Amino acid sequence: MDGLISTINSIKRESDMGIQIIATRPFNDQRPGTSGLRKKVSCFQQPGYLENFVQSIFDVIGDLKKETIVLGGDGRYYNRKAIQTIIKMAAANGIGRTMVALRGIISTPAASCVIRKYSLKGGIILSASHNPGGPEGDFGVKYDIENGGPSPEQLTEAIYRRSLEIDRYRIFDGPDVDLERVSEDHMGDMVVEVFDPIVDYVGLMEQLFDFDQIRELLSSGNFSMVFDAMNASTGPYARAIFEEVLNAPKAAVINAVPLPDFGGIHPDPNLKYARRLLEIMNSEDAPDFGAASDGDGDRNMILGRRFFVTPSDSLAVLAANAHLVPGYSKGLSGIARSMPTSMAPDIVAKDLGIPCYETPTGWKFFGNLLDAGRITLCGEESFGTGSDHLREKDGLWAVLFWLNIMAATGKSVQEIVEGHWRRFGRNFYSRHDYEGLEVDAANALMDHLRESLSDLVGRHFGGYEVEDADEFCYRDPVDGSLSTGQGIRIVFKKKSRIVFRLSGTGTVGATLRIYFERYEKDPLIHHQDIQKALSGLITAAGQIAQIRDYTGRDAPSLIT
Ligand code: G1P
Ligand code: ZN
């Protein structure tokens, strides 16, 4: 009885202070995927859905008193509403200070930068990355930890488990915060600071790259570039960096204003969705350099004049040329790539005499290696590249890295990449996605593959002989944790391979991703069309996985 009375008293005390405790029921679908919890906007709009997940985060991350977190998102639809809710929940959960991004917009790398620079407890980033926005589109929430990187699997699992038993959340009964101007105020006991994250981010880039050399290139009148911000979070950063600091001509940044529906663009910088940029870069009078970033600013696509750089090659090129860039001129400790990424970076690592780690898909797996100082650069085939300057991938950083290399060498994108192939050989590479599959059909295909693994070795498909076949699992060399079921690898003789895995970021049905790679040392073959160069492997994948039988599809819905 005494216990009950003291609970009632403490609830009364809290409600006098403006804190409300709201009863809720668990949702059973709040398990974070490759990068946070992603669902349709309409799903997040269900009463209590966002609140339950955010409360689960607060419940799991421990004592928050005196702690500071950063909060912001990629500007997509529902961003502002969710931010107001989360500020109030933070205040009711005893957080010391919440740093809210001006206008509610922060890129993922900028959030990572701020967490690290100010030694914050962590950050809540509202983003569904490259997924479409608007009321019919997707929304997402992810939590970055104190090293500025994504929550490791143990933490996301703990948050998920908490979400399954949650029965109440805490929220402050107060007015909305004005996100339009920089300010500092109180909400209950919590300090709410509205700040501009661009300054910190630009400052970090200035430390890494030779801004004078890049400025000279961009203002020389002999060099032109275009950066496509896809109406998402990087527009204001790109304008500040390229136009204001580096003196690029005003038209250098297109789609620069963040919009809640990204202006109808699917903010994924690849050969299908960065349409405007591709038109420009494929035109007769194309600029020398083109690049794009995704919704939350962590991805990048690099283009030369009528020339596409695969993200795997990009990582390899950055590694091979890192000595030209001030922030990396002392050398690299190691490189890491996600398993499906091509092995082009491995070849450079070998040449440099440094280790190259192969991790599962998802940036979170790089965190320990970066923290332990084992790697300096890392990347994924999915247009993600980054380094130990942060714990997230970083789109604008990659763009600046390329500009720095171009400024230092005086070479074009195409000259740099073709020179790289001549020196190290070329890894022909492509990814085929089958999107929107029935979940059961996609799982059945993967089960079938898994079961046939042991029978494949020694057999021939599409002119290739299978040398090895397995399901990738990863033992983290730093903390010893094991991640299983990370994709099926079929390795062929002559340094070629196919990887099959299911996406962990989609919100509708299942997406099967198939990754093809073929190594070619002979420069006479380097200029072949990629899909043609990979055609034997593409046939092999169809036969091995019986794609048509399981999915009913004749062709992928997206080729990158
Ligand atoms: C995809 C990419 C992966 C990336 C993630 C978040 O995940 O493949 O490399 O880390 O988005 O940007 P997937 O949908 O394949 O699980
Ligand atoms: Zn992203």
Q: What is the pLDDT of residue 364?
A: 87
Q: From its phi and psi, is residue 494 left (phi > 0), alpha (psi between -120 and 50) or beta?
A: left
User: Can you give the pLDDT at residue 299?
Assistant: 96
The residue nearest atom 6 of ligand 1, judged by CA position, is 35
pLDDT bin (cut points 50, 70, 90) of residue 175 is: very high
Please tell me if the CB atom of residue 503 comes closer than 6 angstroms to any atom of ligand 1: yes
Point out the ligand 1 atom lying closest to the alpha carbon of residue 130. Answer: 12
5 alpha-carbon distance from chain centroid: 49
Among protein residues, the one whose CA lies closest to atom 4 of ligand 1: 362
User: What is the token pair recorded at 130?
Assistant: 């490259």
Q: Which ligand is nearest to the CA of 297?
A: 2
412 lines ligand 1 (CB under 6 A): no
Atom of ligand 1 nearest to the CA of 382: 9
Using 50, 70 and 90 to split pLDDT, how confident is the model at 6? low
Grade residue 26 by pLDDT with cuts at 50, 70 and 90: very high
Question: What domains does the chain contain, in order, with CATH numbers?
Answer: 17-195 (3.40.120.10), 200-424 (3.40.120.10), 426-559 (3.30.310.50)
Is the predicted pLDDT of residue 9 greater than 60, yes or no?
no
Confidence of residue 15 (pLDDT cuts 50, 70, 90): low
pLDDT value of residue 65: 84
Q: How confident is the model at residue 72, as a pLDDT?
A: 98
Which ligand minimizes its atom distance to the CA of 296? 2
Is 5 a residue whose pLDDT tops 60? no
pLDDT at 13 over 80: no
- 35 Cβ inside 6 Å of ligand 1: yes
Whether the predicted model's global pTM rises above the 0.85 cut: yes
**Which percentage of the chain shows pLDDT scores above 70?**
97
Structure tokens at 184: 């500092």
Atom of ligand 1 nearest to the CA of 298: 12
Question: Do residues 162 and 59 touch, judged by C-beta distance below 8 A?
Answer: yes
How much distance in Å is there from the Cα of 463 to the middle of ligand 2? 37
What mean pLDDT is reported for the chain?
94
Name the active-site residue from 35, 112, 129, 163: 129
Cross-strand partners of 355: none
Whether the per-residue pLDDT at 504 is higher than 90: the answer is: no
DSSP summary character for residue 364: G
Compute the distance between CA of residue 394 and CA of residue 212 in angstroms, rounded to an integer. Answer: 21
Mutate-to-test residue for ligand 1 from 31, 34, 430, highest number of ligand atoms within 8 A of CB = 34
pLDDT of residue 8: 52
429-475 tens-digit pLDDT? 999 999 999 999 999 999 999 999 989 999 999 999 999 999 999 99
Q: What is residue 276's DSSP assignment?
A: H
Total length of the chain = 560
From the CB of 505, is ligand 1 less than 6 Å away?
Answer: yes
| Band (506; pLDDT cuts 50, 70, 90) | confident
> What pLDDT score was predicted for residue 63?
82
Atom of ligand 1 nearest to the CA of 34: 16
Please indicate whether residue 393, judged by its CB atom, sits closer than 6 Å to ligand 1.
no
Residues with CB under 5 Å of ion ligand 2 are 129, 294, 296, 298
Secondary structure in 3-state letters for 204-271: HHHHHCCHHHHHHHHCCCCCCEEEECCCCCCHHHHHHHHHHHCCCCHHHEECCCCCCCHHHCCCCCCC
Q: Does any ligand 1 atom lie closer than 6 A to the CB of residue 513?
A: yes
Buried b (16+ CB within 10 A) or exposed e, 49-58: bbbbbbbbbb
Nearest CA owner, ligand 1 atom 2: 382
The confidence score (pLDDT) of residue 19 equals 95
**What is the number of the ligand 1 atom nearest to the C-alpha of 505?**
14
For atom 1 of ligand 1, which residue has the closest CA?
505
DSSP 383-424: TEEEETT-SS--HHHHHHHHHHHHHHH---HHHHHHHHHHHH
Reply yes or no on whether 129 is catalytic: yes
Instruction: Please tell me if the CB atom of residue 380 comes closer than 6 angstroms to any atom of ligand 1.
Output: yes
pLDDT at 43 over 80: yes
Q: What is the pLDDT of residue 16?
A: 63
**What local confidence, expressed as pLDDT, does residue 4 receive?**
54
For the cut 70, the answer to whether the pLDDT of residue 476 exceeds it is yes
The answer, yes or no, to whether residue 11 has pLDDT greater than 80, is no
Cα–Cα nearest to 256, from 271, 286, 277: 277
pLDDT at residue 353 tops 90: yes
Rounded to whole angstroms, the Cα distance separating 172 from 336 reads: 43
User: DSSP E strands: which ranges in 62-112?
Assistant: 68-73, 97-105
Confidence at residue 251, expressed as pLDDT on a 0 to 100 scale: 86
Assess whether pLDDT exceeds 60 at residue 10.
no
What is the C-alpha separation between 284 and 238, in angstroms, rounded?
Answer: 25
Q: Are the C-beta atoms of residues 133 and 76 closer than 8 Å to each other?
A: yes
CA 192/CA 387 separation, integer angstroms: 31
Q: Each residue of 71-105: pLDDT tens digit?
A: 999 999 999 999 999 999 999 999 999 999 999 99
